[in-house]
């Protein structure tokens, strides 16, 4: 049980790190889970992955509660109106991925959750990051420099980019941040809006899976799920803060190189070790 607890802790940590960095949590978890598979039932394993994802979402809500709370007594009428508008734009941005995700979720799980798809997505988007940052090097003017400057049209575009993340290995934060940069958003704004977009999409998808999976599990399975939840939540808090601080002075090229390296590692592992 101690070893399984360590596995749960590690998987939660990896989820907390990779969910918010544009490097694909799915790619990391597929590789890590193959190396240190958590010894629980199939349904408990699926529930574990859902719960550690929900923990990451909770971290965003906690960190940006004042920004996202339209009922705060500290806000005047204008500020509350801006908060409602922010939520409206976030909801608009979630519609494309939300609808398509519900329609093809089972198909994606059955046919695309393969290492070949993950490796290809890691490599392709890593290359796009590098090329995009080289193209924009030295260009510091942004069309959208503040959250309140994000328009409904921008939200729709970001929603379309988020649809790309339905392919495993793409990275939800990666596709939306990349999309934000492409349409002229400042990196911090793109990152924050990407975090907010995750709340309804990931929470909704996770809750649907929870209803499918049910709650009939052993005490040990619940304990492992709890360990994963706590570790994912705590690590997410630090990673979100760190990413926002990082993008103030740096671009995303390093994540592009990392994705390419991980794609090669995943390919080598599954083509050699798993043959």
Question: What are the extents of the domains in the chain?
Answer: 2-273
Question: Could you tell me which residues come within 8 angstroms of residue 120 by beta carbon, excluding any fewer than 6 positions away?
Answer: 169, 263
Is residue 108 predicted with pLDDT exceeding 90?
A: no
Looking at residue 83, its pLDDT comes to 92
Residue-averaged pLDDT of the chain: 85
Closest-CA residue to 172 (of 32, 37, 273, 21): 21
Confidence of residue 13 (pLDDT cuts 50, 70, 90): very high
What pLDDT is stored for residue 138 in this prediction?
59
Distances (CA, A) of 139 to 126, 134, 143, 155, 184: 20, 10, 12, 23, 11
Best-predicted range by mean pLDDT among 28-37, 114-123, 139-148? Answer: 114-123
CA distance 233 to 84: 26
For residue 106, what pLDDT band results from cuts at 50, 70 and 90?
low
What is the average pLDDT across 20-24? 86
pLDDT surpassing 60 at residue 275: no
Q: What backbone torsions phi and psi does residue 144 show, to the nearest 5 degrees?
A: -120, 105
- What's residue 144's pLDDT? 87
Residue 110: the pLDDT is: 67
Contact call for residues 152 and 86 (beta carbons, < 8 A): no
Q: Is 97:166 a contact under the CB 8 Å cutoff? A: yes
């Amino acid at each position: 049980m101690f070893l399984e607890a360590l596995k749960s802790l590690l998987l939660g940590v990896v989820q907390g790190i990779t969910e918010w960095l544009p490097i694909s949590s799915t790619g990391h978890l597929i590789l890590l889970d193959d190396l240190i598979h958590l010894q629980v039932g199939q349904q408990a394993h699926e529930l574990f992955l859902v719960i550690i994802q929900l923990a990451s979402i909770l971290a965003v809500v906690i960190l940006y509660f004042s920004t996202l709370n339209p009922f705060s007594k500290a806000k005047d009428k204008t500020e509350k109106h801006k908060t409602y508008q922010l939520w409206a734009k976030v909801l608009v941005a979630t519609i494309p991925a939300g609808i398509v995700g519900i329609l093809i979720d089972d198909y994606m799980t059955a046919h695309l959750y393969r290492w070949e798809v993950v490796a290809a997505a890691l490599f392709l988007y890593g290359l796009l990051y590098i090329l995009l940052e080289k193209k924009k090097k030295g260009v510091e003017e942004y069309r959208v420099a503040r959250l309140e400057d994000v328009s409904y049209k921008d939200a729709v575009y970001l929603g379309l980019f988020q649809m790309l993340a339905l392919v495993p290995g793409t990275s939800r934060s990666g596709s939306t941040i990349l999309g934000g940069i492409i349409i002229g958003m400042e990196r911090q704004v793109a990152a924050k809006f990407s975090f907010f977009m995750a709340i309804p999409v990931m929470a909704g998808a996770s809750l649907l899976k929870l209803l499918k999976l049910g709650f009939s599990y052993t005490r040990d399975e619940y304990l492992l799920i709890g360990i994963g939840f706590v570790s994912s939540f705590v690590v997410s808090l630090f990673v979100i803060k760190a990413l926002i601080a990082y993008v103030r002075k740096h671009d995303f090229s390093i994540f592009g190189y990392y994705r390419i390296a991980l794609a090669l590692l995943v390919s080598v592992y599954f083509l050699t070790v798993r043959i």
